[in-house]
Amino acid sequence: MLPVTIPFTSLTTPTVFQAGGVGRCAHWWPFYTSDKWVLSMVQGLAIELHSLPTQTRVPDSAPFDKVKDTLLGEQISLLLKQGVVEQAWPSSRAYVSHMFLRPKSDGTFRPILNL
């Protein structure tokens, strides 16, 4: 392989997180590896389904306190603003999952979607 200059974003430079970064940079991966499995994985994994999945019951409500409920709402708003998630409307094909917070070492909270 020929030497190539690859753009570098400093880890100390604040950037807005956007999901899907691996796939958006797939064109750079051949410069790092020639492993066919790795190169196919960065393109995305197709899951073959024999039928559409269904949810047989709605999960029980997760207990929240007012403070965590407010923090979770703020996290959801941030994820919506960043384009990481999008608003969905109720449908018979929708899934209902719990979302909760776990503390991070810096004192903030990480939103977790329990699929």
**Domain ranges (residues) in the chain:** 1-47, 57-115
Q: Residue 20's pLDDT band (boundaries 50, 70, 90)?
A: low
Give Cβ neighbours of residue 28 (< 8 Å, ≥ 6 apart): 6
The tens digit of pLDDT for each residue in 70-109 reads 888 888 898 888 888 888 777 777 777 778 888 888 888 8
Burial 18-54 (b: 16+ CB within 10 A, else e): eeeeeeeeeeebeeeeeeeeeeeebeeeeeeeeeeee
- How much is the pLDDT for 35? 92
Alpha helices in 25-82 (DSSP H): 36-42, 66-82
Average pLDDT, the chain: 76
